[in-house]
Structure 1
Amino acid sequence: MVLPEGFVLPPWYFLVAILVVLGGVLAMLWALEPPVTDRTVVAFVPWMMFGSALHVLHQLGAYPDSIAVLFTSPGVYLVTAIVGGLVWILGIFLEAAGLQRSIERFVGVTGTGFFVVFAMFALQLGWAAGTFEPFWPVIAVVLSGIVTALAWLALGIWFTDVAAITGMTGVVVVFGHVLDGVSTAVGYDVLGAGENVPLSQLLLEAGEALPTAEYVGGGWVFVVVKAALALAILGLFTEYVEERPGEARTILALVAAVGLGPGTHNVLLFLVA
């Protein structure tokens, strides 16, 4: 089995509509050619997290049955991309009309608002159900920040050009994947959570088979692999960022979302369930 457990495509009529709208949004962005900088990538961080909040609400049964399938994986991320893309387009027009100082500020503030509202709704459901437990999720976020700082420090010392060229985009990539790794490790070793992605499960089981598992658990192997993978990707993209920064940072933003989305999902789910 290659696909994650719980991977469910929406019915064809929903899927076709989503793909048509998403294609239109992407075509509009292609025509407008907005600049993609470090600030753009940072502005989209809350949107990467917003999709996770929507998916957690699905797992809590917050949606009517008629539309719940839109918020399964991967449909929820396509829906999030549509909403985020439309907000980006609106920000471009507002900035051109002089109604916003910058596109990035509008995108970032709007995304933060969306994420906070839906995340708070999920937390309220967890609180009402008596399943709100913040200790280990907070520990996971703090540890992720520490590991990211250490990884970035090492990158800056031994591969200074990679850190300097990739900048804040690189930090987002590393933190996103470290958060995914640490939250998965905490869930697996401490909270008894299962892992839906087959490859991730193999890495966790490999760590659990080591002699160190008795003392530090098996999840640390997954954290190391995720961090190393993120740093390696930055190294491979350094020249690309120099030559075609907009395209390269767009792809790196997608790479960051692959880590930050699941990581945020883990943290929110552990908070409320």
Structure 2
Amino acid sequence: MSLQDRASTLSPARAWLAAFAAALAVLVGGSLVLRDLVYDRFVWQYFWGPVYADAHNAACAVKQGGTTQLLGSDSCASLPADAVVARPGYTVVSEIGYAVTLVFMLAGVLFLLRELELGTEKEFFFALIPFMFFGGALRVVEDANNVAATTAGVEQAITYPLNALIISPIIYFVVFAITLATLVAAVLLDRRGVVNDYVPVVFGAGAVYLLVTVAYIYFVVTTRLAGQPGTDAGFYPQVTVAVMVLSTLISLAVFGALRWTSPAVVAGTGLIGLVVLFGHTLDGVANVLAADWWQVLGLPFQYYPKHPVNAFIINFTEANLSGNVSETLGTAWPFLLVKIVAAIAVIWLFDEQIFEESPRYAILLLVAILAVGLGPGTRDMLRATFAI
């Protein structure tokens, strides 16, 4: 059989695996053969270097003359032109790389679900909800770890290299791997007759991961951070209660209004649409309460957004609304409106026809869309709950 004939008979899943192996070979081979160009000035500078610097709470990491240095902000300001510098956070190159990786991995998950004959039922979506909360909570473990080292002057509970696993963007791959492993294990138990249904097993496992993670944060805050000079870390459960109650009431009201006035908008997604609306509403509510109503909630300080979109909306509100409006309502509330409108648009786009033609693809996309709202929202809510 010719190479062309083999390529034509290659299944999409095998083609994906072949592309993955080829990309890995190019990166590994290029890093070995052209180390300075491929590894130092691409892989390390834009992907691993920022994580390495963040894991050590450095302003930047510098490769020069075969050595790697961790520097503070003053030293990072003036560096030789030939130095390879990596700073914590994202760059245009890294964001493009992660976006391509996300699309590629979603395609791989789609092929895997086809092989396992999963993902066509809406129960699959609901089974994964706890993992969205879990991902956001795990990000707060990193926040607590950084507070311990940089603010409270306490030794980190999780040190390098283990703490690299909970630093963005590595943490997203970690949560993805945990979710995938749990799903595959639950499906195998189901098909071997050990359990009656994989859905409650996956949901229950995600809930356990979430509870253990929150319990760990509580332990770190109350035993290592609370009362330490330089930090206001503590336990403020009223934040979680307020965010959850308001998010639930707002999402139920909006979803109910849609069902009453425009039933066709929510006909395709059904209760999935309500969950998507709740996830993005929670993100908006958590930002509004932490930024504008922190004193009412009894928090020791005000929170500022970590994401550019939030910051842009707050800055735009401050610049264009009158002082009386900002003083009365705050400046973060337009972000909540944006999140609600965006969620409604998603619910409207996923009509009944999409679920009939490509149910697996539609559900997988909705899982990703929910994660974009519920994950960051959970992180903001828990950061405020523990004042870190």
Query: Given the two structures, how large is their TM-score scaled by the length of structure 2?
Result: 0.63
- Equivalent residue letter for 1:127: T
Q: Give SS of 1:35's match.
A: coil
Q: Which runs of 5+ in 2 are unaligned?
A: 1-45, 53-100, 146-156, 227-233, 295-301
Between the aligned partners of 1:227 and 1:240, the Cα distance in structure 2 is 22
Shift of the alpha carbon at 1:94? Answer: 0.9
Match of 2:237 among 103, 110, 134: 134
Indicate whether 1:210 and 2:305 are aligned: no
Indicate whether 1:34 and 2:145 are aligned: no
Indicate whether 1:60 and 2:155 are aligned: no
Distance 1:28 1:248, change over 3 A: closer
Indicate whether 1:222 and 2:335 are aligned: yes
Indicate whether 1:160 and 2:263 are aligned: yes
Shift of the alpha carbon at 1:12? Answer: 10
- Equivalent residue letter for 2:200: R
Between the aligned partners of 1:189 and 1:12, the Cα distance in structure 2 is 31
Q: Give SS of 2:275's match.
A: helix
- 2:307 alignment partner in structure 1: 197
- 1:184 alignment partner in structure 2: 287
Between the aligned partners of 1:12 and 1:228, the Cα distance in structure 2 is 34
CA contact (8 A) 2:119 2:364 kept: no
- Equivalent residue letter for 1:99: V
Distance 1:101 1:114, change over 3 A: same
Shift of the alpha carbon at 1:263? Answer: 0.6
Shift of the alpha carbon at 1:136? Answer: 2.7
Match of 1:51 among 128, 135, 155: 135
CA contact (8 A) 2:354 2:362 kept: yes
Q: Give SS of 2:304's match.
A: coil
Q: Which digits, 9 at most, give the CA deviation of each residue in 1:190-223, with x for residues without a partner?
A: 3321112112211122333423212111221111
Indicate whether 1:71 and 2:166 are aligned: yes
- 1:258 alignment partner in structure 2: 372
CA contact (8 A) 2:186 2:198 kept: yes
- Equivalent residue letter for 2:187: I
The 4+ residue runs of structure 1 with deviation greater than 3 A are 8-14, 25-30
Shift of the alpha carbon at 1:91? Answer: 1.2
Shift of the alpha carbon at 1:11? Answer: 5.5
Equivalent residue pairs, number: 261
Q: More helix by proportion, 1 or 2? A: 1
- Indicate the percent of aligned positions where both proteins have the same amino acid: 28
Shift of the alpha carbon at 1:168? Answer: 2.1
CA contact (8 A) 2:280 2:374 kept: yes
Shift of the alpha carbon at 1:185? Answer: 1.2
Indicate whether 1:108 and 2:219 are aligned: no
- 2:247 alignment partner in structure 1: 144
CA contact (8 A) 1:9 1:75 kept: no
Query: Given the two structures, how large is their TM-score scaled by the length of structure 1?
Result: 0.87
Between the aligned partners of 2:126 and 2:48, the Cα distance in structure 1 is 30
CA contact (8 A) 1:10 1:70 kept: no
- 1:269 alignment partner in structure 2: 383
Higher Rg of the two aligned structures: 2
- Equivalent residue letter for 1:237: F
Q: Which runs of 5+ in 1 are unaligned?
A: 1-7
Between the aligned partners of 1:105 and 1:202, the Cα distance in structure 2 is 40
RMSD: 2.5
CA contact (8 A) 1:49 1:260 kept: yes
Between the aligned partners of 1:40 and 1:202, the Cα distance in structure 2 is 35
Q: Give SS of 2:270's match.
A: helix
CA contact (8 A) 1:165 1:242 kept: no
CA contact (8 A) 1:29 1:89 kept: no
Between the aligned partners of 2:116 and 2:272, the Cα distance in structure 1 is 22
Shift of the alpha carbon at 1:171? Answer: 1.4
Between the aligned partners of 2:376 and 2:290, the Cα distance in structure 1 is 12
Where relative contact order (Cα < 8 A, 6+ residues apart) is larger, the structure is: 1
